[in-house]
Amino acid sequence: MANLTVTRLREPWTAPTATEPVDATLRLPGSKSLTARALVLSAVADGPSTLRRPLRARDTELMAGGLRAMGAHVSIVDDERWLLRPRPLQGPAHVDVGLSGTVMRFVPPVAGLAEGPVTFDGDPQARTRPLGPLLGALRSIGVRIDAAPGDGLPLTVRGTGRVTGGEVVIDASASSQFVSGLLLGAARFTRGIVVRHEGPPVPSAPHLRMTVRMLRAAGAAVDDSVPDVWTVEPGRLSGHAWHIEPDLSGAVPFFAAALVTGGSVTLLGWPRSSLQPVDTLRTLLQRMGGEVTLGTDGLTVRGTGVIHGLDADLSEVSEFTPVLAALAALADAPSRLHGVAHIRGHETDRLAALARELDALGADVTESADGLEIRPRPLRGGTFETYADHRMAHAAAVLGLAVPGIRLDDVSCTSKTMPEFPALWSTMVAGGGHR
Ligand SMILES: O=C(O)C1=C[C@@H](OP(=O)(O)O)[C@@H](O)[C@H](O)C1
Ligand SMILES: C=C(OP(=O)(O)O)C(=O)O
């Protein structure tokens, strides 16, 4: 099966160093996770949906492209509004998953509902990301799938237009996205679905709550009252007007800049009640020395001139690990970040990559099975490899605020979730960023 992915051109970048505290008010792009779910739910709904302020980035364009390839009508009215009209899902189709966990885990269950074969492949690193438990679960509810040895990409879902559904048992400890993927299309399965997780804890609980809340908003009957069991009744989903919140994980490096420089960063457009784990981020940043407030103008983080070390289980918010590790390397005391064994299966093995790159800059880092111990030391500039991982690039940018001469081998990986990252970041550091 051909890999149709177009190779990205490497873009080296030297992270700008801050000569004064940042003071910025920014509007950031929409949440990747909310946009991905809104697209999938809209594709299996009965009527048209709109997405207000969605994320326009590689991951969500690939999601839209995959659904389009199977027949959904996705139109980008403008950057503020996308329109999705569901159509009968059909193969033959090809879905390029890029390096996106959401595309590779949310679309195959939906492809089971298509009539005809749907092939999936992605970037070379995508082929090493865990997928087997999801494919096994889908097979157990009647979906035919041919996959590469090791049960990963490239693969073909041989859709028949219907999925029987019913009860599945899965070990979702490698990724919460297995469960979210099974649930998102399940209202359309003949018998709905009961997903029962068996194994070490499922990470990323806030993302599972997001899936459940968005399914309910689309009209699905969902029961998540029993720990590790999720039930979606068969039924129709209605079209919905989705309002996409700004991306919290994408916001983390900008907030970190306030801590590193003793400055202030306000992100506009934060809802009072969020589907993302804002309170967890607030607690973590406060423990590291920041002041966090949610006001009428947005979410503001102020640095107080100190960065404290942090001992924290990050299993619920593992996406934050790279940037928090960068903060930890600049802190006034050692840190222990743990509970995140599964991020070895993210865009890259993030624990190994962070240990290697922080070490190369002079930090004293010990990698454990499920985390990192970081003992701050004076850091020096040098090349920082990003391993095609947007959040490694974010971590390097944060370090670069305080350490001159940090050169990223490639910053284009930030296009996965925020193509405007290098420009926004440079504007913020140069003293701009007011809107
Ligand atoms: O469902 C989602 O949108 C996500 C779930 C999490 O995945 P894992 O549970 O694999 O960490 C998170 O890290 C990822 O960036 C987005
Ligand atoms: C783990 C991440 O992404 P993905 O959705 O590709 O798993 C991430 O964005 O940090």
Coil/strand/helix, residue 296: coil
61, 245, 316, 319: the active-site residue: 319
d(CA 310, CA 327) in angstroms, rounded, equals: 9
d(CA 310, CA 284) in angstroms, rounded, equals: 8
Model confidence pLDDT, tens digit, residues 425-435: 999 999 976 65
Tell me which of 275, 313, 318 to substitute to probe ligand 1's pocket, judged by most ligand atoms within 8 Å of the beta carbon: 318
Tell me what pLDDT residue 78 has. Answer: 86
How many CB atoms sit inside 10 A of residue 355's CB?
20
Closest ligand 1 atom to 177 CA: 1
- Which residue's CA is the nearest one to ligand 1's atom 2? 33
Contact 116, 91 (CB under 8 A): yes
Triad 163, 166, 168: Cα angle to 5°: 105
Tell me what pLDDT residue 248 has. Answer: 96
Tell me what pLDDT residue 5 has. Answer: 44
Tell me which of 100, 170, 207, 343 to substitute to probe ligand 1's pocket, judged by most ligand atoms within 8 Å of the beta carbon: 207
Contact 246, 4 (CB under 8 A): no
Just give the CATH number of 32-230: 3.65.10.10
Closest ligand 1 atom to 33 CA: 3
- The model's pTM is 0.97
Q: What is the mean pLDDT of each run of 10 residues along the chain (435 residues)?
A: 53 97 96 98 98 97 98 92 97 98 98 98 97 98 96 97 98 98 98 98 98 98 98 97 97 98 96 93 97 91 97 98 98 98 98 98 98 98 98 98 98 97 97 70
* Start-end of CATH 3.65.10.10 domains in the chain: 13-29+247-429, 32-230
At 362, the amino acid letter reads G
- Which residue's CA is the nearest one to ligand 1's atom 15? 319
d(CA 411, CA 394) in angstroms, rounded, equals: 9
Q: Which residues contact 10 (CB under 8 A, 6 or more apart)?
A: 409, 410, 412
Tell me what pLDDT residue 434 has. Answer: 61
Which CATH homologous superfamily contains domain 13-29+247-429?
Enolpyruvate transferase domain (3.65.10.10)
Instruction: Judge whether 319 counts as a catalytic residue.
Output: yes
Coil/strand/helix, residue 216: helix
How many CB atoms sit inside 10 A of residue 175's CB?
26
At 267, the amino acid letter reads L
Model confidence pLDDT, tens digit, residues 212-261: 999 999 999 999 999 999 999 999 999 999 999 999 999 999 999 999 99
Tell me what pLDDT residue 7 has. Answer: 56
Ligand nearest to the CA of 97: 2
Q: How far is CA 298 from CA 35, 64, 110, 246, in A?
A: 20, 29, 36, 11
- What's the gap in Å between 382 CA and the centre of ligand 1? 30
d(CA 27, CA 37) in angstroms, rounded, equals: 22
Tell me what pLDDT residue 296 has. Answer: 85
Q: Across the chain, which distance is largest between two alpha carbons, in Å?
A: 61
Q: ipTM surpassing 0.95, yes or no?
A: yes
Q: How deeply is 383 buried, as exposed, middle or buried, from its count of CB atoms within 10 A (0-12, 13-18, 19+)?
A: middle
